[in-house]
């Protein structure tokens, strides 16, 4: 049976332990599901989504490891592209044989029952990428104030200069 990892807020672990991982609304508007990645030899690829999820304001993220029947239907694809329906065992094989696997995600289109969960643990909180998989040492894709508002150190990436409101007021008075 293929094993998968779902990353969740540490505050929800007790609830997940009681009822399982509930299917939530996803980017694919037609399907509710549970996002996950297969367990593979490369720990970084398995936990690649951790830093992206931490950018939403969650302080600590737990990993929930669960098993799915090999014939269970799942959706696999890159986070910003179309997903294709495959079986769980085939999705794990695709993920393992993919060149780098960064940005790949699997969506289980149903709730994962409590009986399928094998363990929960607290992984290292610095695994993964923040903006997109190949963003290391590159600026974000857009430097406008709208796209960067609220981000940590966003002023470094903005192409529009920040205007000092006191300086503007002094120029208008002259």
pLDDT in tens, 38-74: 998 888 788 888 877 777 778 888 999 999 999 999 9
Tell me, what's the pLDDT at 129?
60
Tell me, what's the pLDDT at 29?
55
Tell me, what's the pLDDT at 119?
93
Mean pLDDT, rounded, for 124-130: 69
One-character DSSP codes across 25-68: E-SSTT-EEEEEEE--S-HHHHTTTHHHHHTTT-S-EEEEEEE-
Tokens of 127: 């695994």
Nearest Cα residue to 145 out of 122, 121, 162, 128: 162
| Residue reference for tokens 């998989």 | 133
> Is the whole model's pTM more than 0.85, yes or no?
no
Tell me, what's the pLDDT at 57?
76
Confidence band of 171 (pLDDT split at 50, 70, 90): low
Cα–Cα distance for residue pair 80/75, rounded to 1 Å: 13
Tell me, what's the pLDDT at 165?
47
Cα–Cα distance for residue pair 16/122, rounded to 1 Å: 14
Nearest Cα residue to 161 out of 143, 137, 138: 143
**Bigger pLDDT: 154 vs 17:** 17
């Amino acid at each position: 049976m293929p094993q998968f990892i779902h990353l969740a807020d540490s505050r929800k672990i007790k609830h997940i332990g009681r009822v399982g991982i509930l299917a939530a609304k996803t980017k694919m508007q037609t399907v509710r599901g549970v996002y996950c990645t297969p367990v593979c030899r490369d720990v970084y690829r398995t936990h690649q989504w951790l830093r992206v999820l931490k950018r939403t304001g969650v302080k600590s993220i737990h990993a929930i490891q669960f098993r799915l029947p090999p014939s269970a239907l799942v959706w696999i694809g890159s986070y910003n592209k179309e997903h294709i329906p495959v079986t769980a065992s085939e999705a794990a094989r695709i993920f393992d044989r993919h060149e780098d696997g960064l940005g790949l995600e699997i969506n289980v289109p149903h709730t994962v029952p409590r009986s399928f969960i094998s363990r929960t643990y607290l992984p290292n909180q610095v695994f993964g990428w923040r903006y997109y998989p190949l963003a290391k040492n590159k600026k974000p894709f857009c430097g406008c104030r709208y796209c960067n508002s609220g981000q940590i150190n966003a002023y470094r990436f903005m192409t529009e200069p920040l205007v000092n409101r006191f300086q503007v007021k002094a120029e208008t008075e002259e």
